[in-house]
Amino acid sequence: MTDRPAPATEVVPGRQDVPRQDFIRQIVREDLASGKHAAIRTRFPPEPNGYLHIGHAKAICLDFGIAAEFGGRCNLRFDDTNPAKEDPEYVAAIQEDVRWLGFDWASLRHASDYFEVFYLGAEKLIRQGDAFVCDLSAEEVREYRGTLTEPGRNSPYRERSIEENLDLFRRMRAGEFADGSRTLRAKIDMASGNIAMRDPAIYRIKKVPHQNTGDAWPIYPMYDYAHSLSDAIEGITHSLCTLEFEDRRPLYDWCVDKVDLAGHPELLQPLLDRGFPLEAAKPRQIEFSRLNFNYLVMSKRKLLALVEDGLVDGWDDPRMPTLQGIRRRGYTPSALRLMVDRVGVSKQNSLLDIGVLEGALRDDLDARAPRRMAVLDPLKVVLANLAEGHEESLVFPNHPKDESQGTREIPFSRELWIEREDFAEVPPKGFKRLVPGGDVRLRGAGIIRCDEVVKDADGNVVELRCTLDPESRPGMEGANRKVKGTIHWVSARHAVAAEIRLYDRLFTVPDPDVDEGGKSYRDYLNPESRRVVTGYVEPAAATAEPEQSFQFERNGYFVADRRDHRGDAPVFNRSVTLRDTWARKP
């Protein structure tokens, strides 16, 4: 990576040479053009307290994407200031997810790398008269805080002397006081119209071991303080975050300005000692709208509950909106990046239709996924006019619009599987596929006529005896004879039995997140969200690599399961149907 400011070269998908034009990129362009920054730096700052979800994909694409587009750099920084809720399992998964989306970090950081600097910054605030140790309990702090319409009241501890504050803060750091008994608070303005500015806590006592720093710290910095200073330490130029932080921007700026790391490099000495490069600068926070989709829940708390209560099969259940889940479902990094581009960047929060997400996957896979034939609900067809041992190979293009994908051979023989729903003994009006005495085209093989319907003792159709029209074979004169329908098929002798997991939306209602009338998202689980069937796939599908995506003709887009799929025991997950079948539901 270089620090060279480069012009944006990425283009809006489908529109040649049109640079992305959102307000954040506009700010970045202006800052580079005016020389305010020679190069930009961004960061993606997840808290390692859960798995990343589709919403995070937007933040990742913006943080990493904008840095890459403008020749800047992006750090991955774990915001690990709340050790009680954090776990190395999440740290590993988050790194894997960011890489999977196609990004890499200039530097991997942790807020905990900076604990020493935060501490020195806090002592500086105390010496400046900008922070004080407060003995109010959490409940008292709430009482003193005031409301949106009423100002707060000053803490009785607000006027402690600098010496007393320094002494108490050092003893907090030494572990002398009980959890929750004291806090260090910024001294700002209890009458501020912005509640975030009413003497917010910047340190609390919490004797919980930390995954990086062990027992070294009995006190931990609060989010706003740690986050703003982390940005400053790393020389972040554009600190992108979601809209709920807009009210906290004044506090962010207050922390950056009052501690003033850029003007006091001595505070960074602990980092220099540990070999971190010095790059402190004044960052600018810019907020954008969160990504939200209907038919999903994305709060970490609810996702955790779904997993813990066994309502889904773990964090990577293909119905989960976690990146691990949708990856297993068959979502591709390029589909997610396409979705983020289409959604755009604004300051308007909204609930997007899940069709936008599914549509991006369809468009991505339509352009790239090889085609295969698979029968999910098999009905036997016997071509009675072919010899018992008849066997041939038919050549099919892998992709109808992409010749570079080449061809494959599909075995064809006397006994085939077709889709049960492609036959109707008593056809409904407008039915265009196989009926007794009728014709249908077998994709790429010829036209068959159904001569006889064989049933079992219970009257179920078990087999169709058909005639293959020899004049309709590929290359023959009658190959283009008009028939109403074309259906897919596989050769019964050659096809491979596969476990097919038919996934659908996890919730039946567009807003499962709205708790109303005593109901919660749990009451809206879709009982049909996972159906497992045994189907038959052509041999070229069975040999897929795990995570390879296909269009199973007429059936949808499927992916070889990344955990369970094997060539001799194939497992495919339905990623998305070919069309939006929900739009038409009443």
Smallest separation (angstroms) from ligand ATP to the CB of 271: 23
- Cα dihedral 93→99→102→104 (10° resolution): 140
Query: CB-wise, 223 or 431, nearer to ligand ATP?
Result: 223
Is 300 a known active-site residue? Answer: yes
**What residue number has its CB nearest to ligand ATP?**
55
Between 46 and 512, name the residue whose CB sits nearer to ligand ATP.
46
Cβ count near 128 (within 10 Å) = 13
Order across the sheet with 549-552: list the strands: 371-372, 549-552, 556-560, 571-576, 496-503, 530-537, 374-375
Structure tokens at 365: 């896979």
CB of 257 to ligand ATP, least distance (A): 22
Bridge partners of 455, per DSSP, are 461
Kindly give the interhelix angle for 115-127 and 162-173, rounded to the nearest 10 degrees.
160
Q: Supply the minimum distance, in Å, between the C-beta of residue 289 and ligand ATP.
A: 8
What's the full length of the chain, in residues? 586
* Nearest of 302, 289, 300, 403 to residue 344 by alpha carbon: 289
Let me know if 258 is a catalytic residue. Answer: no
Which 3 state secondary structure label does DSSP give 394?
A: strand
What secondary structure does DSSP assign to 472-532, as a single string? Answer: GSTTSGGGG---S-EE-EEETTT-EEEEEEEE--SBSSS-TT--BTTB-GGGGB-TTSEEE
Choice between 46 and 221, CB closer to ligand ATP: 46
Answer yes or no: 455 catalytic: no
3-state secondary structure of 251: helix
**Which lies closer to ligand ATP via its Cβ, residue 50 or residue 318?**
50
Closer residue to ligand ATP (CB): 42 or 551: 42
* Per annotation, catalytic residue among 20, 41, 47, 358: 47
Residue 138 is inside which H or E element, if any? helix 138-145
Shortest reach from residue 115's CB to ligand ATP, in Å: 19
Rg of the chain in Å (alpha carbons): 31
Q: Which of the residues 206, 290, 342, 481 is marked catalytic?
A: 290
Of 291 and 373, nearer to ligand ATP (C-beta) is 291
Output the smallest distance, CB 483 to ligand ATP, in A.
Answer: 50
Residue 105 C-beta: closest distance to ligand ATP, Å:
14
Min dist. Cβ of residue 446 to ligand ATP (A): 52
Element (DSSP H or E) covering residue 453:
strand 446-455
Q: Which of 158, 170, 258, 300 is catalytic?
A: 300
Q: Give the count of beta carbons closer than 10 Å to the beta carbon of residue 246.
A: 14
Residues forming contacts to ligand ATP in the complex (CB under 6 A) are 45-47, 49, 55-56, 58-59, 241-242, 290-291, 298-300
The rounded distance, in Å, linking the Cα atoms of 233 and 36 is 18
Residues tagged active-site: 47, 290, 300
